[in-house]
Structure 1
Amino acid sequence: MLTRRFFAAFAALAVIAAANFASAETKLPAKDKFHLFLLVGQSNMAGRGKVEDEDKRPDPRVLALNKAGEWVPAVDPIHFDKGAAGVGLGKSFGLQIAEANPGITIGLIPCAVGGSPIDSWKPGEFYKPTNSHPWDDAIKRAKLAVEKGTLKGILWHQGESDSNAKLAPTYDAKLQDLVKRFRAELGSDVPFLVGQIGQFEDVPWDEYNRQVDQAHQNLSKHVVNAAYVSAAGLKHKGDKVHFDSASLREFGKRYAEAFTKLTK
């Protein structure tokens, strides 16, 4: 008798739990009203800013695809590449785009991988520090996302790992190839936005930083529908590498402004 009562009670609890889970799931809009943006690059795209109260507040019109492939409210950190993931530029970008487009829900697809050089963003490449395949994982997640929404843009921030004598000279050609591969794989010439690497007052650039930055600035001369987003005046969080939280929120707004200008 006790056994039957136990299983009956367990079954009842399972039904309640399932109902609660279903009610907690994020309801998605129609596919054409769900605008998706792929977030790719290295740690400054993933975000290493300190998470504060404003970063924890969800907005019903800005969602993010979590590690498990589920759409959830975009609450920082939305990336999961490393334990150090924090505030990034994605959420502020999404909020700005949503505000400018009534009736549209924004879906962020976080795929940045901290420390990854551009050479790791190729099919089949394994990036040992995070035990991941940056390119393959991003394409897989992007294709999962577009089952529910419409891809509208790709946001790229990367280049710190390539700012050296060995890699900087070939960065320009590799970046152009990367854009072409993303567009070919995802079947769309959506806007491609590339952000400037940190130009901090107390961290002077060398010739290799300048070479990578020039490749970023020149991208729109070689591929259509591309834009460069300035990081002028933004600050690091004390480590001379990663933008602080306030700067990342501002950077996201700058990406949004660049996207709006490009699409107009």
Structure 2
Amino acid sequence: MKKFLLGAAFAMALSQVNATPDPNFHIYLAFGQSNMEGQGDVGQQDKTVDERFQILWAADNGSCSGKTKGKWSTAVPPLAHCQGAKLGPTDYFGRTMVEKTDSQIKVGVIVVAVAGCSIQLFDKDQYKSYAQGQQSWMTQRINDYGGNPYGRLIEMAKKAQEEGVIKGIIFHQGETDAGDGQWPSKVKRVYDNIIKDLGLESDIPFLRAKCCAAVQARARTTTSQSFRSSPRTSTWCHPKASTRLWATARTCTSPRRNTAILASATPKR
């Protein structure tokens, strides 16, 4: 009996050791609206993914890709959800990070994105009132994240911290909030909440992605001005063009190339 108890204690201690986060597993959080969901068509070349690039599926429904909420799997697109998400910024961001880093490094992403949403949807004090007034198609996307996209992002991020280390945050949102002079401070509020809720250091890179000039002109809004005035929310905060939004490939550079540029600009921490 004593041998059995000693063996059980040893096994428990061993499991705790094995539960230590892997410093070579680099994790990035990604959130936003339709741009972050992914609007690029998924080609055959996009379905071949290095196993070192992993996705922690955050949506309830993973039927479109065989993924399961809260489980890691190879990051084959779509990465956001099964409600129409396609090829997005995180796809080639992750692939490029894998390509540019040591072979011992794994890269993981968590993507939470809702097309057409305001930054209010990621404000943990305002998301309920905001969500109540939305159309059914958006409600379906919100409900795929348990009715609380921010809460789901934090839930999955905490789970990811059990296995790896969060190295950065990628943000692509703002078109819906065009003209809102308070948008920069609202973004910073969300950022501050993420840092606090996950116990992260304030020097975690926060990458603010923006759409290309052709889409900005087509939108005819002040989004770009708000983008430029948004606060430097971390020690290293780098705005980068990352995807073509809803434009055609002929209008803007493809998400494959631009997200590779974004990844190349990410500091190695």
State the TM bucket, normalised to the shorter chain: 0.7 to 0.9
Flag the structure with larger Rg: 1
Richer in helix (by share): 1
User: Residue 161 of structure 1: SS of its match in structure 2?
Assistant: coil
Paired residue for 2:191? 179
> How far 1:213 moved relative to its partner?
2.5
TM-score by length of 2: 0.74
Alignment of 1:1-264 (within 5 A): 31-66=22-57, 67=59, 68-80=69-81, 83-102=83-102, 103-123=104-124, 125-126=127-128, 127=131, 128=134, 129=138, 130=141, 131=143, 132-164=147-179, 168-188=180-200, 189=202, 190-200=204-214, 203-215=217-229, 218-220=230-232, 223-230=234-241, 234=244, 236-238=246-248, 247-260=254-267, 263=268
Q: Give the letter aligned to residue 206 of structure 2.
A: F
Report the alpha carbon displacement of residue 198 of structure 1 after superposing the two structures with TM: 4.1
SS at match of 2:168: strand
Corresponding residue pairs, total: 224
* Cα distance change of structure 1 residues 235 and 223 upon mapping to structure 2, 3 Å threshold: closer
Question: Which residue identity does 2:70 align to in structure 1?
Answer: G
> How large is the Cα RMSD of the aligned pairs?
2.8
Alpha-carbon separation, structure 2, partners of 1:172 and 1:135: 18
Give per-residue Cα distances to partners, 1:69-96, cap 9 Å, x unaligned. 110000011110x521101111211111
Q: Deviations over 1:25-61 (max 9, x none)?
A: xxx9961111100011111011021110111112111
Distance, in Å, in 1 between the alignment partners of 2:216 and 2:28 is: 33
Structure 2 runs not aligned, ≥5 long: 1-18, 60-68
How many percent identity over aligned positions?
A: 27
Cα pair 1:219 1:227 within 8 Å, conserved: no
Query: Structure 1 length as normaliser, TM-score?
Result: 0.76
CA distance in 2, matches of 1:201, 1:121: 24
Distance 1:160 1:54 in 2: 30
Which amino acid in the other structure matches residue 163 of structure 1? A
**CA distance 1:178–1:104, shift in 2 (3 Å):** same
2:94 corresponds to which letter in structure 1?
Answer: G
User: Unaligned stretches of 5+ in structure 1?
Assistant: 1-27
After alignment, is 178-187 or 69-78 more displaced? 178-187
Distance in 2 (CA, whole Å) between partners of 1:162 and 1:199 is: 18
Distance 1:237 1:117, change over 3 A: same
Distance (Å, rounded) in 1 between the aligned partners of 2:168 and 2:124: 20
Residue 32 of structure 1 aligns to a residue whose secondary structure is coil
- The 1:121–1:202 alpha-carbon spacing in structure 2 relative to 1, beyond 3 Å, is closer
Partner amino acid, structure 2, of 1:115? G
For residue 181 of structure 1, report the CA deviation from its aligned partner.
1.5
Sort the Cα spacing of 1:201 and 1:43 in 2 relative to 1 into closer, same or farther, 3 A: closer
1:203 Cα deviation after fit: 4.0
Q: 1:148 to 1:175 in 2, by over 3 A?
A: same
Distance 2:265 2:29 in 1: 15
**Pairwise CA distance, 1:62:** 0.3
